[in-house]
Amino acid sequence: MERKGFFIEGNDISDGYHTFNELYDYRMAYNALWVNEIHKSGLSGVYKLHKSIKHSDGELCFGGGWFIVSIELPTGQISNHYDMKYWDLFKIPEYEKSILEYDGHTPDDAKNRMFNYLNMG
């Protein structure tokens, strides 16, 4: 039986294959794998890769309990926020506050910047 469209599965919204919570966890795990490898390769400083519990203005991410992971690719800045329970998964440089001032990028901008970066090599 083919399932089409979105529907509620328990307490989660699903596309019939994955819940949004599942996809969020996948995105977080892939991001951690990727940025950890960048750091291991010695490129953290080149890309200004880091994590912080505060945005560049010194405010706690979402009032606390969250952190930001940011990187400045040659194609532009990307960032994601995560619940503090995932802090230790990101084995990257830690700063008191984000060293990158938010440039106003949207999720679509970040996606395009990542695709453009992938197409560079």
pLDDT value at position 17? 79
**Can you give the pTM of this predicted structure?**
0.85
pLDDT band for 1, please (50, 70, 90 cuts): very low
Q: CA–CA separation, 32 vs 60, rounded Å? A: 21
| Radius of gyration of the chain, Cα coordinates, nearest whole angstrom | 16
Q: Where are the domains of the chain?
A: 12-120
Please say if the pLDDT value at position 121 is more than 70. Answer: yes
pLDDT value at position 18? 79
Q: CA–CA separation, 85 vs 114, rounded Å? A: 26
Give the phi and the psi of residue 74 in degrees, each rounded to 5: -60, -25
Which of these ranges, 17-31, 40-54, 73-87, 99-113, has the smallest mean pLDDT?
Answer: 17-31
pLDDT value at position 11? 63
Number of Cβ within a 10 Å radius of residue 12: 12
pLDDT band for 8, please (50, 70, 90 cuts): low
